[in-house]
Structure 1
């Protein structure tokens, strides 16, 4: 994700507080999912420090993703100096509330210190030095959290958006070569052999990127590298009428490759968008902000219908989708208020800015509650 890094000096994350009354268990997402798949949210340390958010997260979800606190730039700003205190609080929170935890992410071209793959002159490190740095980071991080996370987003967003290019020209690729992805998976498996291993990306519900993702899965398997699931971020857009059909087709395609599917960063953007995906900020210099004074009921209902269709697809193939994680908890703190256009008022999640459930929440609960 492109959210800004959260400072690590926030103080202890509070446990579930008394500021609001938690919803009854019978009315929560984690109960409605009934163990068919994990359902979760991505939350920042700052978010969990708010007792209202902590209450909501603990009541509604059974798996948690830290928005930024497990990313390389948060854990190892300087070579060999690891800062685990804030990330450890997510472990404490999930253990206290009977939740699972996902590690996001071990290898990414963004929100990572440049020295891992580049020298002081900005040029790529020699292959063996880049591999040494990658292994040292994964060994330390996955080793520290061994047995504490259910799975790792091992490599994030490594596939190119360019039509005729397979892999993104990341610092890791420039230093090590195309096999840096396979090596990252090998290092992660060795450091935390019981954790699930995921490849995570955006727009991989779209045909071109889907085929590249399938190629990556096949490449990894051909090398004897273990990969358990493809993570589909699913930053979807309400006006994209074919998005759910593409998602359905892609889940089936990934399942045919023998991997599970995790929907890892779900939200539904209700605002006008000129482009697609999660990496188009440079294309969006300005944009309309039509809902500054509130989300119109008809738009809220359209969003609810969209979410309902999406969860019908999730349930369509039992055992294939093993997790659905929303990227955020409530509309006011969503990254989409500042992406791809800054300072807009967006409404992409199931709870509004007052932490009241929206029609989308009722729609998801209805789908999950059907026989």
Structure 2
């Protein structure tokens, strides 16, 4: 049956409107499914650290946010020695297994954190049954066994490992940890060799804070040069990136990126967060045993962040991400130390009970202006 010109025009308009609606809905869905990782996909991985409680809860909303926004993940605490290997005969694999399964499901860059560290290690690792320090040989055996079991369990699945964490004591050289005191300065060589033996395909990283410190930088560069001659398989350096509105000096941070990269290291920004609160007693480290007494003066934004401070936060995020983009050829990934402000360790470190705003998402996991600011760099 023939239709009039008017009917044809009306039907065509209806079809056009329907197609336009489909296109708009598809675009809206695409925007909803696109995260910061997609904007930076040609530059470096964007990652987050996941707490054990969030991993075990398997909350689809939270994990959906993580998989949409990030291409790299780190286990915040549940792979540390005291959590995953609390007693000589006991291993707690549940949370770590969920982490690896989740990462594989979403084809993510997975960083195992951490194989050797002086903190969050049970006393039994360094002592015998009578509480006396064990020998160098015995401690090396325990180190090798732990790394072999942990890195070996996920061999071929884990992308990279923080092999050694925080082994340099600012401008004092090697930290006088139980690892150093018992084994000696070559404990780090052994850790990297054990990790490589356990998983030859994994990318192996040394990770530390205050990596912009010139003396710390010089000490690590010297170690890297000598270690490479010894055949130690160190392949990356992690700069933790616990920064603030006024520290560190960004030129010194850039100098360190360039110095480590010049030694053939891939650069990882491993634990990035932006502290907006007053510095307690000029403390700017990340040694977790440190704490200071609470005072209202040290917690000025309990009821929200003033607009002027929020703008400083945005500007500082932009400053650092411009630096990262400048050195995109050297940087493997940039990982935020957490997803939402409410879960950040900076609420309780180095002063317990404060309200901080260091991450890209707020306490309800909504994107913050600082998210929009670094996203705008790629649009």
TM-score in terms of structure 2 length: 0.87
Task: Give the equivalent residue in structure 2 for 1:155.
Answer: 164
Alignment of 1:1-371 (within 5 A): 24=31, 27-48=34-55, 49=57, 50-161=59-170, 163=171, 165-240=172-247, 242-273=248-279, 274-279=282-287, 282=290, 284-287=292-295, 288-369=298-379
- 3-state SS, counterpart of residue 101 of structure 1: strand
- 3-state SS, counterpart of residue 368 of structure 1: coil
Cα deviations by residue, 1:227-277 (Å, 9 ceiling, x for unpaired):
11100101001122x532221111011111111110000000000002112
1:32 deviates by 0.5
Report the Cα distance in structure 1 between the residues aligned to 2:309 and 2:141, rounded to whole angstroms: 51
Cα deviations by residue, 1:44-80 (Å, 9 ceiling, x for unpaired):
1322423332121010001110101111111111113
Based on CA coordinates, which of the two structures has the bigger radius of gyration?
2
1:280 deviates by 7.3
CA contact (8 A) 1:22 1:59 kept: no
Using a 3 Å threshold, how does the CA distance of structure 1 residues 79 and 292 change in structure 2: closer, same or farther?
same
The range that moved more, 315-324 or 137-146, is 315-324
CA contact (8 A) 2:77 2:83 kept: yes
- 3-state SS, counterpart of residue 197 of structure 2: helix
CA contact (8 A) 1:76 1:83 kept: yes
Using a 3 Å threshold, how does the CA distance of structure 1 residues 289 and 220 change in structure 2: closer, same or farther?
same
1:211 deviates by 1.5
Report the Cα distance in structure 1 between the residues aligned to 2:164 and 2:324, rounded to whole angstroms: 23
Using a 3 Å threshold, how does the CA distance of structure 1 residues 120 and 243 change in structure 2: closer, same or farther?
farther
- 3-state SS, counterpart of residue 173 of structure 1: helix
Report the Cα distance in structure 1 between the residues aligned to 2:314 and 2:301, rounded to whole angstroms: 17
Q: Which consecutive aligned stretches of 4+ in structure 1 deviate over 6 angstroms post-superposition?
A: none
Number of aligned residue pairs: 346
RMSD of the TM alignment (CA)? Answer: 1.8
Cα deviations by residue, 1:323-367 (Å, 9 ceiling, x for unpaired):
100000010110000001000000000111111111110111112
Q: Which runs of 5+ in 1 are unaligned?
A: 1-20
CA contact (8 A) 1:201 1:233 kept: yes
- 3-state SS, counterpart of residue 24 of structure 1: helix
CA contact (8 A) 1:230 1:254 kept: yes
